Amino acid sequence: MSGIARDVGDLFHRELSGERAQATTAAITRFHRPPGASGYHAATNLVAAELRAAGLKDVASTAYPLDGETVAGEGPLPLAWEPHGAVVRVVSPEPGEVVNMETASSCLAWWSRPTPEGGMTAELVDLGRGERDEDYAGTDLTGKIVLIGHTERPGGWMYAARRAMEAGARGILSDYLFYTFAPDRTRETHPEAVQLLRLPNQRGQFDAWACGIAYPAAQRLRELLRLGPVTLHADVRCDLFRGHGQNLLATIRGRELPEESVFFIAHCSAATCPCANCAAGPALMVEIARVLHGLIERGELKRPRRSVKFLFIIEGLGSRAYIEQHRDELDRVKAAFCFDSVGHDQGKLKSVLLFYRHPDSSPSFINDYFAGVMDRSPKDGTWVFADDADIAPVQFTQAPYTPWSDNHIWAAYGVPSPLIMSWPDLHFHTQFLTADNTDPRVFRRAGVTTALAAYEIADAGAADALMMADEVAARAGFRLAEIANRAVHRLAGAARVGGNGVDATRVSARAGRELAYAAERDRRAVASVRTLLSGESVPGLDDAIAAHGDALHEQAERAAARVVAAADGWSGGGERA
């Protein structure tokens, strides 16, 4: 990269390489990375080597048990699991291969148990979707292999798989495809996709295995079953064992308040191999760490007041283990940026880069502050006759809080923890999600924006906190106007089409509740900038925070009155009085 840096954002934009992040992603995807597997540890060790090669000295690994017994956070941690191979074939009436892990690396479900040496032969039973009691009525599943069909019902796979195992099934096949979206990702339009599944068998309580299969293979089995009995042979090789997880933590130490921190969090684990979406998070974190460390060491960027930490984990489990071991540190974590699938090629995978906001349950400055960083961070494109690059070819937008990845675990402890990820995802957790489906431009956009935000929070002092409070309040005020305008537009639109069943009183009452809620939530979000100052006295800041809060509530009251007036001016028949 080249160019003259005018500020911190320009430095990151000049230095951060999307191509380097993509190359690290490709390196990680060589490994099959379920919890506790040798591939997971190999990928984590690769990341550690890259961090040290970039010059970071404070890189440390800690272990925790994966034994099905140790409790961390919401419950026991599962057993470790490692796949080695799986082949399922039709024996009769018409021999042929159903699925093979060598060509469909995503087929073998996590926490499967192996078949006996040499495999097993068993009758196939079609359970349909396995969602109804009648799907199981009058059928003995003991020792048999069952076929469970695709369903749009959330959680349908887990429910059906558990019921089948409880009924004695020894093997499960399914053409389930998670998170379909028409017209691109459906069973019919994405027929060869083999979905990675997670068997509800984390503690090895069932002696069973499961494989995802392609849609044509499932349809062929259904055709054979219509003609009569079908016998399958399955050879599943895997280990379900007492092992350990590994958390890798790299630290760039702060100059004044090193005990306080800003975190980056991503998982080196993956649903399957190659699973480039999961590999993209740790790869981008390595690149951000390299850039930030290098700029500081060369004297081009001041060391931030607080430490910046990079935590590489098994998704979910690593966060639970880390928090269990470091509860006393959580109130000193100012923000935690969680990464998942941050490099998707938006054209190939039909995706958008998303900033999932921190939840309303613990209002935080992070949401509106980061939205501001998204707007002002350096971009790559210019509009006609412009001198500065202010157009991004990469779509990067906001979405409401979604408990998708480790963000929900950190948020549960009140740590501001937005999630950066790409969605939708055409190849989500299937064998097709290779590193060539990532895009250096997306890595760069995600990396520059989050690196800039993390650095500014890590270095923030009193003046920065006041500036953040002003920005949060300004964006909150705009939202209040939007809520009122939306209600008024709905009333006006209903009037133009003769009412259309709209109750004006209910519309205005709902808007009033929304306005009051938003004003109080955002008052607390403005006040949360105080957490950046470690209790120190800052003349004028508390007065500014209080003034912003009062102004938001007053604006909400005025806006609610405007909606009431609009509702009063519209008769129930859809005409203005």
Q: What is the domain-level CATH number for residue 97?
A: 3.50.30.30
For residue 478, is pLDDT > 90? yes
88 shares its domain with 191: yes
Asked if residue 574 is part of any domain, the answer here is no
Kindly indicate the confidence band of residue 576, based on its pLDDT and cuts at 50, 70 and 90. very low
Q: Are residues 453 and 470 in the same domain?
A: no
Domain-terminating residue out of 459, 474, 493: 459
Q: What is the identity of the amino acid at 408? A: H
What whole-number distance in Å separates Cα of residue 21 and Cα of residue 35?
A: 23
With beta carbons less than 8 A apart as the criterion, state whether 376 and 286 touch: no
575 in a domain, yes or no?
A: no
Residue 188: its pLDDT value, please? 95
In terms of domains, do 321 and 300 share one?
Answer: yes
Q: Is residue 172 part of a domain?
A: yes
Same domain flag for 37 and 98 = no
The model carries a pTM of 0.95
Same domain flag for 162 and 186: yes
Q: Residue 577: what pLDDT?
A: 36
38 and 107 co-located in one domain: no
Residue 385 reports pLDDT greater than 80: no
Q: How many CB atoms lie within 10 A of CB 263?
A: 22
Give yes or no for residue 266 having a pLDDT over 80.
Answer: yes
Answer whether residue 450 shows pLDDT above 90. yes
List of residues 6+ apart from 387 with CB closer than 8 A: none
Residue 160's SS3 state is: helix
Portion of the chain with pLDDT greater than 90, in percent? 89
**H or E segment at 354?**
strand 352-356
Number of domains in the chain: 3
Q: What is the amino acid identity at position 330?
A: L
In a domain, 1, yes or no: no
Question: Does an H or E element contain 312, and which?
Answer: strand 306-313
Does residue 413 contact residue 401 with C-beta atoms inside 8 Å?
Answer: no
Average pLDDT score, the chain:
94
Residues 405 and 292 in one domain: yes
Give the per-residue pLDDT at 190: 96
Asked if 210 and 199 count as a contact pair (C-beta separation under 8 A), the reply is: yes
Q: Indicate whether 29 belongs to any domain.
A: yes
Indicate if 236 and 252 belong to the same structural domain: no
Report residue 179 CA to chain centroid gap.
14
Query: Last residue of a domain, which of 193, 208, 241?
Result: 241
The reported pLDDT for the residue numbered 573 is 44
Alpha-carbon distance of 359 to 413, in angstroms, equals: 12
Q: Which pLDDT does position 532 carry in this prediction?
A: 95
Burial environment of residue 462 by CB neighbours within 10 A (0 to 12, 13 to 18, 19 or more): middle
- Domain assignment present for residue 261? The answer is yes
Residues 122 and 85 in one domain: yes
Q: Are residues 382 and 415 located together in one domain of the fold?
A: yes
| Percent over 70 (pLDDT), the chain | 96
User: Taking 60 as the threshold, does the pLDDT of residue 3 lie above it?
Assistant: no
Look at residue 573 and tell me if it is in a domain: no
> Which residues have a Cβ under 8 Å from the Cβ of 414 and sit 6 or more positions away?
330, 362
Please say which residue of 192, 212, 241 terminates a domain: 241
Interatomic CA distance for residues 352 and 181, integer angstroms: 14
State the burial class of residue 565 (Cβ atoms within 10 Å of its Cβ: 0-12, 13-18, 19+): exposed
Same domain, yes or no, for 372 and 454?
Answer: yes
* 77 pLDDT more than 50: yes
Digit-coded pLDDT (tens) for 83-111: 999 999 999 999 999 999 999 999 999 99
Is 47 within the bounds of a domain?
yes
Range(s) of the domain holding residue 192: 80-241
Same-domain pairing of 33 and 136? no
The pLDDT of residue 575 is 44
